Amino acid sequence: MALPKWTDERTDQLVNFVGDGPVSQAQVAEAADELETSTRSVSSKLRKMGFDVELASASASKSFSDEQEATLQAFVTDNSGSYTYAEIASNFEGGSFSAKSIQGKILSMELTSHVKPAPKVETVRTYTPEEEGTFVSMVNDGSFVEEIADALGKSVNSIRGKALSLLRSGEINAIPKQKETKGSSKADVLADVDVANQTVEEIADSIGKTVRGVKTMLTRRGLQCSDYNGAAKKDIG
């Protein structure tokens, strides 16, 4: 079954849902459930908009003991369809795990079909027509993302997401620039990746890069993964 497309409305919902700051894998899972799409689609969309999304590999650290995992699995399957994530969290281990932590664990165990859907929250318009008019005017005047955020009382991530929507609708001609950008990390992003035994797509997902970016990196370093020979490409180049 094809995943739903990222319309302007769905994009605004996603930005409003995750808020500002780094996005955890638990938030990704929650957003995917709310918007009825995959976690991969949500992560990819957020990264394309410039959000700092936690890597799936970084969230894999074990916070549940084997006994707790077995207990949770039994609780969820024995009460299939009876509890939401929040209700499971309040009933499991005396409420020692948050709803987001429970949701992430249930997702990893592929037991989401046993969870009762939470009531849908009616989506509210995040920008008034007046705010959109101010947004477009400031972009056309060359204002920075931070300046627009301050003027409208919005987060920087919200401004970036709205700018993408307005760009697609043709109301602005370019994404506004950001004054402060993160410095490039000096850490080797491939240091903990089993490059030789993974595909380009798997590597891209694990380090938060695009497929094209990974291929460029492999070629530049002369590395080979399971479905792309960067060394050969480097020799040809």
Give the separation between CA 25 and CA 42, rounded to whole angstroms.
Answer: 10
Output helix, strand, coil percentages for the chain, rounded to the nearest 5: 55, 5, 40
Per residue in 182-210, pLDDT (tens digit) is: 544 445 778 778 888 888 888 877 777 78
Q: Rounded to whole angstroms, what are the CA distances from 20 to 34, 112, 133, 154, 179?
A: 18, 26, 22, 9, 17
What pLDDT was estimated at residue 51? Answer: 85
Assigned token pair, 14: 């996603």
What are the beta bridge partners of residue 225?
Answer: 228
Q: Which of 116, 163, 161, 155 has its CA nearest to residue 135?
A: 163
Beta strands in the chain (DSSP E): 224-225, 228-229
CA distance 215 to 190: 12
pLDDT of residue 60: 46
Q: Can you list the residues of the chain whose pLDDT is less than 50?
A: 60-62, 183-186
pLDDT tens across 163-175, in order?
Answer: 888 888 888 988 8
Give the chain's end-to-end CA distance (angstroms, integer): 40
Separation of alpha carbons 15 and 18, rounded Å:
6
pTM of the model: 0.33
Distance separating alpha carbons of residues 32 and 233, to the nearest angstrom = 37
The conformation of residue 191, written as its DSSP 8-state character, comes to T
What's the Cα-to-Cα distance from 84 to each of 34, 90, 133, 154, 189, rounded to whole Å? 13, 10, 40, 31, 37
pLDDT at position 151 is 93
Q: Are 109 and 69 in contact (CB under 8 A)?
A: yes
* pLDDT confidence of residue 59: 54
